[in-house]
Amino acid sequence: MRNSKEPTVVARRKLEGSYLRFIKNAQKFYRGYVRDLAAIHGNVPELERAAKKVGGDSELEAHDEDI
């Protein structure tokens, strides 16, 4: 005998998986976006700091060693 709540549980699990994928993709996009902004506008210290926090771009780290 099947439980009447089973389809709801499966649907919720699928929705949660989709939501987690969405969040991960959004985080990946914005990490790249912040790094790109920092690379283009390298003279903004706050932007460089944010780029380091979200992903640690090696180009930015090399730039800091030159300063």
Q: Is the pLDDT of residue 15 over 90?
A: yes
**Whole-model pTM above 0.75?**
no
**pLDDT band per the 50, 70, 90 thresholds, residue 51:** confident
Q: Is the pLDDT of residue 57 over 50?
A: no
Q: Is the pLDDT of residue 21 over 70?
A: yes
Looking at the chain, the whole-number percentage of residues with pLDDT higher than 70 is 73
Question: What dihedral do alpha carbons 53, 39, 25, 56 form, nearest 10°?
Answer: -30
